[in-house]
Amino acid sequence: MNVKKDFPIFENNEGLIYLDSSATSQSPKQVINAIADFYNKYKSNIHRGVYDLSEMSTELYEKSKEKCASFLNCNPQEIIYTKNATEALNLAAYSLTSDLKEGDEVLVTEMEHHSNFVPWQQLCKSRNLKFSVIKVNEDFTLENIENKITEKTKILALTHVSNATGSVNDIKEICKLANENNIITVIDGCQSAPHKKIDLKDLNCDFFAFSVHKMLGPMGLGILFGKEKLLEKLSPFLYGGDMIRDVRIDDTDFNDIPWKFEAGTPNVAAAVGFSAAIDYLNKIGMENIEKYENELKEYALEKLSEVEGIKIYKPKSQAGIISFNLYNNDKLIHPHDVSAVLNDKKIAIRSGHHCAQVLMDKLKVPATCRISFYIYNTKEDIDKVAEALKEARKVFN
């Protein structure tokens, strides 16, 4: 896939091999130019002004939502813009748990990113709800969810694709089970939406969150999809300008969805950049992106297995994310040290607990090394990583 020329970061950092797209992807010039164009020509606040600039800015913002809805196969009024996926998941957790009764249960999994674990954990504590955790098996599949469900289970929150290992959950089947038991599903789609075709009507989840900066777009914009009938019932998470219809001394009437969840001035420039990112991804085709990344993953698994002392954490079903650790005489070489050696060769990988400390505890390691792919990566990148890892091991011999 010959697209690297579209990404200025590689031109400005000669020799860079970037393998941390799970944390943040790079942006093509089409996205960067769209953002610059907005600031140069249209910058103004939305939904408020009756002058031309404001109306044009509003149109760009709302068209971005229409494009996002089409990308996900849902309705525009079901798309809420937040500052990131973390805020989107906090919004869902705060609003949904406020309607639960004491003793009601929230289910999460051991593989969750902290953004889809800590909010539920803390809100269950403060609201006297039951917080239960679904265990992860040795092959990174989930234990039988059906056995965890009780009549008290009201919410099931889980990731589509693990950011720590790339493990893929069968969200469609899990949501079907949840729907049969009248359980609301909240899906962390941060590692799936940028890399595969998402059809929300087919998945039939109730909420779905992801971040624009992981899918070629700018930082500062998250997405929360929520089914219209559920959003209508939920209370807002933030209060202030633009999310109101009428304010009186004694009470306030809130705006229609999705605007009642979008208090204050939004990141309009990021929405414009997101619109350009969707155009770019659609031009390539999400099916083609998924196929290409799977090819890179399989090639990488083969090349990395040739590195002496490596332990790869291999899920049964895996996306384009690979976590591993390097050992020397059974002694762990800390992932931060491995990452530092690779950085000297202009290879950017992630090391740490990946905001998934519960899973790291399960694996009995403090951290792992992680490489993650996107459309600008190549097999040559992988060859260089494998060679660099062999050299890294010699450094700590």
**Residues designated as active site:** 355
Please tell me the distance from the alpha carbon of residue 385 to that of residue 279, in angstroms, as a whole number. Answer: 31
Q: Give yes or no for a contact between 290 and 197, defined as CB atoms under 8 angstroms apart.
A: yes
> DSSP readout, 70-89?
HHHTS-GGGEEEESSHHHHH
Q: DSSP string covering 116-177, please?
A: GTHHHHHHHHHTT-EEEEE-B-TTSPBP-GGGT--TTEEEEEEESB-TTT-BB--HHHHHHH
- How far apart are alpha carbons 42 and 47 in whole angstroms? 14
| DSSP-derived 3-state class of residue 92 | helix
CA distances from 359 to 110, 140, 182, 313 (A): 6, 10, 28, 12
For 150: left if phi > 0, alpha if psi spans -120 to 50, otherwise beta; the answer is beta
Cis bond leading into 28, ω under 30°? no
How many CB atoms lie under 10 A from the CB of residue 354?
23
